[in-house]
Every structure is written in C-alpha cells, then in structure tokens.
C-alpha cells in the first residue's frame, strides 16, 4: 500500500488572514514544577466546556515535590477523543527548557507564547512558520504585582485573546477559578490578566481580533474525571465500605477520594504502613462481610502477590486496583506503561481463579468498580482492575454516571436463619459452579476455619490427593461462572477487515484515530479494545482468528499483552507487536506509520 495517509487537521480551512475556526485544539503549558501550568489549563477547561467541547487533560511531571520540567496538556474537540493529538497547536512556555523539550511537537501553523524574562527564545526548536509571542511574564509579575506566581494569569490574558475568548468571559473564568481566595488575591490575578490583554492590544490583538476562534456545540452536562476517581466512585456506589492503601504514584487518588467520602457512608479508608499491611487489612475486612478494596501500583502489587494467592485459595472476595506505571523497580513513577499485565493475569504462587478487567475511560472505570465489587462477592475470589497511568490520572469528559442502574449483589451469603436450617455448614462445600454458600465468621453455627493450606470442605487441612484435585477443580470452575457477565470489548471500523488493531486501556483513543486515517487511505481496518484481560474472552480470540494480521499495541518492552493473548489461546503467528516503553503515549501518526510499514507501504 502506498497511498498517502491524511494527517489530522484541527481547523477548518479559511481564507488567508481570516480567523481560523478551531474544532480540535491541543494546548500545552510547560515550565518548572510550581510555575502554575495547571492553572491555565483549568481556566481553558472552563471555556471549552461551556462551548460543548469534549475534553482530555493530562499532566507530565517529574517525580519530585517541586521543580523539574512540568507540563499540563488539554485537548478540546467537538468529537470525543481518548488522547492527545499528534501536534501541539498552542504552547505556553515559561522557560527555555520547555521550548527545548516541547518545541519540536508544535504544529507548523501553531502559536507559542514564551516567557522572555530570562532571555530570547532559543533557536532551532520551532518551525519557521510558528508564530511566537515573546513576553516577559515573570518580570512583569514581579515588577508590578510583587510575585512571580502571577505570571500564569498574565499568560492567560494573552491566550484568551489569541483563541477568541471575550474579556468578560475570561474574567468570569478567573473569578470562578480563584473564588476561594481572599479578594485581594482575586483582584491581583485579574490585574495580571489585564496586563496580558494590554500586551495583546499592543500586538494588534484587540478583543475579538485574535487569529483563532473557537468552534463549539450545544453545551451538554458532562463529568470531567480521571480513572482512579471513577473506580473509587463505582466501588462506593456498589456498596464498598472499606479501603486500605499506601500512597504511591499513580494510585494515590484512590485513597484520597475514598478517604474524603467513605466515612459519610459508614465506611473506612485507612492509610496503612505499607502495601503488605494494606492488602492484609483489606482481607480482614472482607472476612467480616464488608465489601473491601485495596490498590497500588507495580511495586506495591508485586509485594501483594502472596496475598493474591491466599485470596484465591481461601476464597475471600476482594477488589484490587493496579494503576500501572513505568518499571522495573521504582522505574518512572509518573510515566505510563502496561508492564504489570503478565503479573496480574498469570502471577502469584500456584493456580488460582481470578478475573482481570481493563477499562479504558472514566465511564468504564466506574462500571468496572461496580462490577468488580459485585463479582468478587459472587465468585468469592480476587477481582483485579488493571489501569495504567494515563487511564488512572488523565481526565476525560464523560456522560454522568447512572447511579440508579447500580445493583448490589450478595452472592451466596448465608443469613443466621439460613445457617440454622442446615444439617451442617461446610464453608468450602463442593458445588457445580465452584462457589460455596458462606456465612460471615461469628454467625451461630457457621464456623469457619481459614488457612493458607489446602483444606477439605470443612476447612480442615488436608493433603489427600483426591481432595486436592476436587478443591483445585472446584475453584477453577468459578472462572467459567464469570464469563457471561464480563464486559465485552469496544470495536471500531470494518467488521470484515483483514487488518486488526488490538490494545487495552490507554490505547483505545489513539487506535481509533489511527484507524480513521488508515481507512481514509483505503485500508480495511477494525479496532478491538478488550475490557476483559483475563480470562481471555472468546470474542478476542475470534477477532484474532478472523484477521490476516492483528497488530497488538501496548506499552511494554516484552510484549506482555501479546503473551497473555497467546496463553489464552490466540495464535502468535497472526499477531504482530507494536511496542512503546519510553514513558510517553503513542501518537496517532506513530501507529499509522508502524501499521503502514508492517503492510509494506510508505508511511
């Protein structure tokens, strides 16, 4: 295939010199940690939301408290997108390092707002066609307002004129953003913004005269949320009442969100002294009948592996969330990767039943929180939610969650009256579906013997070979019980396509954008983003069998998703990996180039 692949265009064509109408805009604000990059993005978020834009925001920060290169990004589009685009349309750069790191990604027809306080713009990083506004924001803020921190408000004043935000709307957004501050600080930020307006006036950018104008649609009520918060919300809505965790990037939001909300519902959130304590506290809570959850990232999840095995063996329900980051070891805590997948699907000591869900956006994360909480009770086993840093922490606008549709399932829970009606209570009774009726310890007549050793139906330690086989087979049957209730994958493109793109989590949005371009170039492509990682779903295996070639797209150096699919029955001959492990997300153009090269074409 040699057809040229069209690149994404953020703007409608306009006559020379006329305002460009933006229907898809990628903005990055970059500098040092503490420069206030996120403030500008937050203000612009308000503006785009009022215009009905779908939003995607992300942070790129160093693993430190303050300092080091830090950036915030925002994509606003009139169609929903699950990631950033190929290029940055508008860059606000607070220092030279921001230009050096980000400058190469600025679109040829993009705009740069540069803080010239410490010198001129570094050369050689931007295309000659990029329009630059060099303004000494920092010096102006210190000279006139006595604080360098106000430079972000100066920058926003200029940015607002560039993208066509009316002055009164910009002021309203500023007041909304800083409404909890003392009036003197609100006024200081407004004064800083007015200085940005004044610079725009001097540059010929009067109100309504900027080079760009925002498109928009009818505003719709949407929720801007990250995946960690959404999982926690789903867990709470499904009756979750106990969470134990240890702070770790990028999973800490789980603990933060639930600490602020669980007590109001009679629940408990505990910061444990380490990850081992966290999961064992959660196991103890689950034993009392509470719906419990724990969460961590790769290093903490690795420490929890023995407890995973105990959960599966002792048949204790627990939800476990892994917000993956770049490893190995401490790795790059603030960067995305999907290199825990093999550990989640196949790790642990011995063979245990488990389910691993892989949501790809906040709405799916909420649904996964609900399903995992119920499924753990139904199966009496661990249910794992596999996030990655992008899904966990990046925020997207989604439709409000349907709380009225949430049900709370108790599984085969026995009441005191149920137990009283039994001839005998066998905690690990052999059943056709592998799930034994159980009573909370302390229920009269419902004695439970819980041990890490193999046991018989009454919980007594047993090494009898026949009993061992019966118990292993009993527990394994739970996976078959779960299959019909596991979420199906998200598809896009031609159902009869010879070429498939397959990835989980953060790959969803970028795969669709890449597929759109490949389809426009004449290639027949279908995308599948499975939402169930383990057990490998039959629909996933069928998708792979039906294609001449399936490109497995993942953030892993060792092709872990590829290996999991093969372990689940997929043919390795039909799959080809496209891997990335540099700590940055795929861009649509990168996937297009890789697929075109794999098909023997010219990217």
pLDDT, tens digit, for every residue of 426-443?
A: 999 999 999 999 999 899
Helix axes 151-163, 137-145, angle to 10 degrees: 120
Q: Considering only CA atoms, which of 353, 374, 361, 295 is closest in space to residue 531? A: 361
Whether 296 and 304 have beta carbons less than 8 Å apart is answered as yes
**Do 224-405 and 490-598 come out as alike in CATH topology?**
yes
- pLDDT for position 17: 58
Q: Note whether 422 and 433 are within 8 A (CB).
A: no
The residue among 109 and 8 whose pLDDT is bigger is: 109
Q: Closest Cα to residue 77, out of 106, 50, 47, 56?
A: 56
For residue 575, give the H/E element and its range. Answer: strand 575-579
What residue segments make up the domains of the chain, in order of their start?
A: 20-214, 224-405, 416-483, 490-598
The torsion angles phi and psi of 32, rounded to 5 degrees, stand at -100, 155
Residues with Cβ within 8 Å of residue 404, at least 6 apart in sequence: none
HEC sequence for 314-371: HCCCEEEEEEECECCCCCECCCCCCCCHHHHHHCCCCCCCCEEECCCCHHHHHHHHHH
* pLDDT level of residue 60 (50, 70, 90 thresholds): confident
Q: Are the CB atoms for 321 and 294 separated by under 8 Å?
A: yes
Q: Are strands 355-357 and 575-579 parallel, antiparallel or unpaired?
A: unpaired
pLDDT of residue 8: 44
DSSP 4: P
pLDDT of residue 109: 96
Global pTM reads 0.94
Chain segment 2-44, per-residue pLDDT in tens: 344 444 434 444 444 578 999 999 999 998 877 778 899 999 9
CA distances for 273 relative to 259, 295, 334, 531, angstroms: 16, 14, 22, 32
- As a whole number of angstroms, the distance between CA 503 and CA 579 comes to 11
**What pLDDT digit, counting tens, does each position of 311-370 carry?**
999 999 999 999 999 999 999 999 999 999 999 999 989 999 999 999 999 999 999 999
Q: How far is CA 313 from CA 293, 382, 451, in A?
A: 18, 10, 9
pLDDT of residue 559: 98
Could you give the angle at the alpha carbon of 451 between the alpha carbons of 450 and 453, nearest 5°?
A: 145
Decide if pLDDT at 251 tops 90: yes
How far apart CA 456 and CA 474 sit, in angstroms, is 11
Identify which of 172, 164, 171 has the alpha carbon closest to the alpha carbon of residue 205.
Answer: 164
CATH homologous superfamily of 20-214 equals Pyruvate-ferredoxin oxidoreductase, PFOR, domain III (3.40.920.10)
- 46 with 176: CB under 8 angstroms? yes
The reported pLDDT for the residue numbered 7 is 46
Neighbouring-strand partners of residue 532: 357
| Model pLDDT, residue 149 | 84
Computed over every residue of the chain, the mean pLDDT equals 93
What pLDDT does 2 receive? 38
CA distance 552 to 562: 6
Q: How far is CA 276 from the centre of its chain?
A: 25
- Torsion angle in degrees (nearest 10) through CA of 296, 299, 300, 305: 120
Q: Among the listed ranges 5-19, 283-297, 501-515, which one has the minimum average pLDDT value?
A: 5-19
Residue with the two structure tokens 């009520």: 221
More confident residue, 555 or 349: 555
Q: What is the pLDDT of residues 131-159, one digit of tens each?
A: 999 999 989 889 988 888 899 999 999 99
What is the tens place of the pLDDT at every residue in 442-476?
A: 999 998 889 999 999 999 999 999 999 999 999 99
CATH fold for domain 224-405: Rossmann fold (3.40.50)
Average pLDDT over residues 244-251: 97
Instruction: Tell me the two tokens of residue 427.
Output: 């905690």
pLDDT band at 170 (very low <50, low <70, confident <90, very high): very high
Return the pLDDT at 5: 47
Number of alpha carbons in the 13 Å side-chain half-sphere of residue 387? 35
Residue-wise pLDDT for 176-191, tens only, equals 999 999 999 999 999 9
Nearest to 196 by CA among 218, 227, 163, 237: 163
**pLDDT: which is higher, 603 or 113:** 113
Maximum distance among all alpha carbons in the chain? 89
Q: For residue 262, how many other CB atoms are within 10 A of its CB?
A: 20
Helix then strand then coil, % of the chain, to nearest 5: 40, 20, 40
For residue 449, what pLDDT is reported? 87
The arithmetic mean of pLDDT across residues 505-522, rounded, is 97
For residue 199, pLDDT over 90 is answered with: yes
Distance of alpha carbon 122 from alpha carbon 595, whole angstroms: 35
Burial class of residue 143 in the structure, from the number of CB atoms within 10 Å of its CB (0-12 exposed, 13-18 middle, 19+ buried): exposed
CATH for 490-598, options being 3.40.50.150, 3.40.228.10, 3.30.70.20, 3.40.50.920: 3.40.50.920
What sections of 83-150 are H helices per DSSP? 96-102, 137-145
The stretches of 389-429 forming alpha helices (DSSP H) are 389-393, 416-420
Sign (positive or negative) of CA dihedral 145, 150, 151, 156: negative
Residue bearing the bigger pLDDT, 165 or 602: 165
Q: What are phi and psi of 234, to 5 degrees?
A: -60, -40
Strands of the 490-493 sheet, one edge to the other: 490-493, 525-529, 499-502, 549-554, 575-579
Average pLDDT over residues 192-211: 94
Residues 6+ apart with CB under 8 A from 199: 133, 135, 154, 157, 158
H, E, C per residue of 147-198:
CHHHHHHHHHHHHHHHHCCCHHHHHHHHHHHCCCCCHHHHHHHHHHHHHHHH
Report whether pLDDT(269) > 90: yes
């Amino acid at each position: 295939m040699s057809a040229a692949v069209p690149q994404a265009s953020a703007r409608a064509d306009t006559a020379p010199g006329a305002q460009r109408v933006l229907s898809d805009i990628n903005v990055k604000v970059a500098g040092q940690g503490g420069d206030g990059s996120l403030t500008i993005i937050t203000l612009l978020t308000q503006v785009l939301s009022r215009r009905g834009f779908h939003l995607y925001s992300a942070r790129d920060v160093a693993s430190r408290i303050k300092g080091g290169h830090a950036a915030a990004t925002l994509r606003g589009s009139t169609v929903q997108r699950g990631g950033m685009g190929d290029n940055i349309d508008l860059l606000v750069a607070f220092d030279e390092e921001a230009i050096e790191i980000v400058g190469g990604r600025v679109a040829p027809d993009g705009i740069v707002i540069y803080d010239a306080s410490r010198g001129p713009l570094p050369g050689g990083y931007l295309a000659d066609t990029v329009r630059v506004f060099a303004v000494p924001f920092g010096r102006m803020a210190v000279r006139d307002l006595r604080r360098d921190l106000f430079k972000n408000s100066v920058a926003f004043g200029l940015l607002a004129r560039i993208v066509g935000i009316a002055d009164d709307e910009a002021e309203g957004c500023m007041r909304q953003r800083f409404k909890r501050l003392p009036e003197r600080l609100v006024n200081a930020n407004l004064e800083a913004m007015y200085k940005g307006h004044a610079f725009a006036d001097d540059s010929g950018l009067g109100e309504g005269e900027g080079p760009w104008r925002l498109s928009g649609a009818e505003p719709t009520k949407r929720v801007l949320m990250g995946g960690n918060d959404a999982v926690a919300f789903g867990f709470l809505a499904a009756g979750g009442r106990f969470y134990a965790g240890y702070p770790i990037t990028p999973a800490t939001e789980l603990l933060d969100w639930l600490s602020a909300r669980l007590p109001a519902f009679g629940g408990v959130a505990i910061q444990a002294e380490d990850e081992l304590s966290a999961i064992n506290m959660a196991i103890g809570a689950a034993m009392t009948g509470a719906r419990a959850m724990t969460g961590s990232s790769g290093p903490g999840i690795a420490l929890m592996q023995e407890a995973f095995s105990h959960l599966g063996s002792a048949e204790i329900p627990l939800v476990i969330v892994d917000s993956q980051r770049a490893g190995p070891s401490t790795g790059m805590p603030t960067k995305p990767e999907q290199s825990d997948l093999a550990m989640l699907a196949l790790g642990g000591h011995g063979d245990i039943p488990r389910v691993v869900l892989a949501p790809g956006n906040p709405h799916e994360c909420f649904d996964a929180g609900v399903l995992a909480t119920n499924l753990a009770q139904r199966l009496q086993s661990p249910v794992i939610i596999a996030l990655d840093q992008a899904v966990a922490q990046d925020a997207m606008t989604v439709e409000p969650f349907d709380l009225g549709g949430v049900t709370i399932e108790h599984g085969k829970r026995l009441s005191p009256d149920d137990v009283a009606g039994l001839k005998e209570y066998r905690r690990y009774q052999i059943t056709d579906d592998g799930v034994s009726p159980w009573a909370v310890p302390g229920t009269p007549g419902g004695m439970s013997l819980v041990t890490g050793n193999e046991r018989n139906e009454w919980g007594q330690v047993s090494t009898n070979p026949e009993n061992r086989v019966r118990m292993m087979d009993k527990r394994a049957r739970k996976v078959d019980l779960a299959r019909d209730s596991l979420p199906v994958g998200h598809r896009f493109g031609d159902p009869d396509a010879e070429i498939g793109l397959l990835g989980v989590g953060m790959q969803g949005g970028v795969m669709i954008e890449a597929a759109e371009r490949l389809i426009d170039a004449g290639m027949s492509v279908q995308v599948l983003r499975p939402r169930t990682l383990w057990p490998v779903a039959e629909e996933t295996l069928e998708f792979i069998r039906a294609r001449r070639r399936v490109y497995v797209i993942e953030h892993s150096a060792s092709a872990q998703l590829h290996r999991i699919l093969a372990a689940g029955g997929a043919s390795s001959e039909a799959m080809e990996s496209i891997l990335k492990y540099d700590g940055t997300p795929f861009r649509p153009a990168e996937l297009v180039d890789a697929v075109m090269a794999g098909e023997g074409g010219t990217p």
